[in-house]
Amino acid sequence: MYYKLPRIEYYRPKTLEEAVRLLEEVEGSKVIAGGTDLLVDMKTSRAKARALVDVNSIAELRGVEDLGEVVRIGAATKLQELLESPIISENLPLLRAAVESMASWQIRNMATIGGNLCNASPAADTAPPLLAYEAELVIAGRGGLRTVPITKFFTGYRRTALSPTEVLKDIIVRKSEWTGWGYIKLGRRGGFTLSVVAVAALARVRDGVIEDVRIALNSVAPTPVRAYRTEEALRGREVSRDLLEKVARTVVDEISPIDDVRSTAWYRREMSYRLALDALTEALGVK
Amino acid sequence: MRVAFTLNGHRVEVDVESSETLLDTLRLRLGVKSVKRGCERGECGACSVLLDGRPVVSCLLLTVQVEGREIVTVEGLYGDELFEELFEEFSKNFAIQCGYCTPGMLLTSYALVKRASGGPLRVSGDHIVKAIEGNLCRCGTYPRVVRAVSRVLERRLPSGSRL
Q: What is the largest CA-CA distance in chain B?
A: 54
A88 and A159 share one domain:
yes
Q: Which domain holds residue A42?
A: 9-54
Select the more confidently predicted residue: B2 or B159.
B2
Which chain B residues are closer than 8 Å to A9 by Cβ?
18
Residue A145 lies in a domain: yes
- The answer on pLDDT for B63 being more than 70 is yes
Asked if A69 and A157 sit in the same domain, the reply is yes
Instruction: Domain ranges for chain B, please list them.
Output: 2-76, 81-154
How do residues B88-140 score in pLDDT, each as one tens digit? 999 999 999 999 999 999 999 999 999 887 665 667 778 899 999 999 999 99
Number of domains in chain A: 3
- Closest chain B residue to the Cα of A43, Cα to Cα: B41
| A169 and A202 belong to one structural domain | no
- B2-76 and B81-154: same fold? no
- Closest Cα in chain A to B104: A106
Name the CATH architecture for the domain at B2-76: Roll (3.10)
Cβ within 8 Å, pair B56-A10? no
Mean pLDDT computed over A247-252: 96
Q: What is the pLDDT of residue B157?
A: 74
Q: Could you give the CA distance from residue B60 to residue A91 in angstroms, rounded to a whole number?
A: 32
Provide the mean pLDDT of chain A. Answer: 97
Same domain, A184 and A277: yes
Residue at A72 is within a domain? yes
pLDDT at residue B162, as a whole number: 60
| Confidence band of B161 (pLDDT split at 50, 70, 90) | low
Looking at the structure, do residues A79 and A151 belong to the same domain, yes or no? Answer: yes
Indicate whether A161 and A207 sit together in one domain.
Answer: no
Chain B CB contacts of A4 below 8 Å:
19
Can you tell me the mean pLDDT for B149-158?
87
A258: β partners: none
- The partner residues of A200 in beta bridges, in order of sequence, read A183, A216
**Of A181, A203, A220, residue with least CA distance to A95:** A181
Domain match, A30 and A66 both: no
Determine the pLDDT at residue B144. 97
pLDDT class of A124 with cuts at 50, 70, 90: very high
Helix axes B102-118, B142-154, angle to 10 degrees: 30
Contact A104 B17 (CB under 8 A): no
Assess whether A45 and A112 both reside in one domain.
no
Mean pLDDT of chain B, nearest integer: 94
* Residues of B with Cβ-Cβ distance to A8 under 8 angstroms: 18-19
If you average pLDDT over residues B139-162, what whole number do you get? Answer: 86
Q: How far is B145 from chain A (nearest CA, A)?
A: 16
Residues of chain A by 3-state class (helix, strand, coil), percent to 5: 35, 30, 40
CATH number corresponding to B81-154:
1.10.150.120
State the CATH number of the domain containing residue A88.
3.30.465.10
Looking at the fold, whether A198 and A264 belong to one and the same domain comes out as yes
Last residue within a domain, chosen from A174, A197, A217? A174
Residues A39 and A71 in one domain: no
Whether A4 maps to a domain, the answer reads no
A216 and A259 belong to one structural domain? yes
Give me the CATH number covering residue A37: 3.30.43.10
Tell whether the model's pLDDT for residue B160 goes beyond 60. no
| pLDDT confidence of residue B156 | 83
At residue A146, the pLDDT reads 98
**CA B113/CA A168 separation, integer angstroms:** 35
pLDDT by residue (tens digit) across A162-187? 999 999 999 999 999 999 999 999 99
